Amino acid sequence: MPLVAHSDLPSFVRLRAAGQEVLTLERARRQDIRELHVGLLNMMPDAALEATERQFMRLVGSCNRIAQIYVHPFAVDAGVRGLKAREHIDRHYESFEDVRSSGLDALIISGANPAQPEMEDEPFWEPLVEVMEWASEHVCSVVCSCLATHAYLRHFHGVARRRCLPDKRWGVYEPRNAASHPLIYDLNTRFDAPHSHVYEVTRADVEPAGVQVLSESEEAGIYLAVSADGFRFVFFQGHPEYDKVSLAKEYKREVTRFVSGERTTYPAYPERYFASAARQMLDRHRDKVMEAIARGAAPPAFPESELEPRLDNTWTDTGKAMFNNWLGLVYQLTDADRRRPLMAHLDPDDPLGLKTA
């Protein structure tokens, strides 16, 4: 299921260079294959904006259905952005009005960095709610990532997120599949999954809203869940889209915050992420940073390039399988007119027939 480079978005070039199959628009138009149109509401901050595009496009482009996937990135007003990010959005992103007018088969809503204790006080809250309300009526299925999951549960069900730790929960955990569902069909019963979030919701929080938990771990809680109808909204509290280096870059940012005085303690390692060789290197770097601060000298640069070869990615294959299952179901439940996401003979409360099977 190749992606189609239907615009000059730089992520298409980066993905093709990395080995992803990406069709030119001319080649795609010569083929008689069904299209799928997937929206990507990207709410990530400037530094992660383009990386988030590539991460989700990689997962979507790994689907093995016979279709061509058009990814439509768009953004909402989420506060002040830098000039480079603003130019990127203005040049390469569509407006929500255009996306709403043309319709989508499916939608992905990224996470965002929380800046306020209450989500309703975030600058993106009202436009995000507008997108979610439209999608609930006009899109076959919506994947919500991390904060977007918390936003949906807050708006539609009044479920309040809670701060999970004094700092944040981050690392690579081991969820187990806790139910039978087409989204996790034929997947390993236990697998690796990255998490990185300051706030969380628990099984006890979401089950009264009819949400079904599909995968969870003892340490990090819910990883994957679905709305009461089994498919319209898919909730990730973890990050199947993360690159091998994503958590390392987050760790680097926390070290930088310590050096600049934004945080008072040196950050702990993400759990189950750095192997022994990486920890030894980072232990030495921490000692040098602390020694330099004590002497009033400039701390050494973070050893990012030396660290990367010592990192492992143990979760992407599972993420690809989940997105493959998701888009396979979208493919079954939509037709060429994506303004009619659920076929007339399907029960909107049980589109997959899970309750009657």
Catalytic residue among 144, 146, 164, 181: 146
Residue the block writes with tokens 């809203």? 209
How does DSSP assign 186-235, residue by residue? T--SB--EEEEESEE--HHHHGGGTPEEEEEETTTEEEEEE-TTSSSEEE
Per the annotation, the verdict on 146 as an active-site residue is yes
Beta strands at 176-177 and 212-217: parallel, antiparallel or unpaired: antiparallel
Strands (DSSP E) found in 227-264: 233-236
Catalytic residue among 53, 216, 241, 254: 241
3-state DSSP helix/strand/coil % of the chain, to nearest 5:
40, 20, 40
Q: Residue 203: in which H helix or E strand, if any?
A: helix 203-206
Q: How many Å separate Cα 182 from the centre of its chain?
A: 20
Neighbour count for residue 224 (Cβ, 10 Å) = 25
- Whole-angstrom CA distances from 198 to 55, 106, 163, 276, 316 are 21, 27, 6, 26, 22
Q: How far apart are CA 190 and CA 192, in angstroms?
A: 7
Catalytic residue among 72, 195, 197, 239: 239
Q: How far apart are CA 232 and CA 234, in angstroms?
A: 7
Per the annotation, the verdict on 219 as an active-site residue is no
Positions marked catalytic: 146, 239, 241
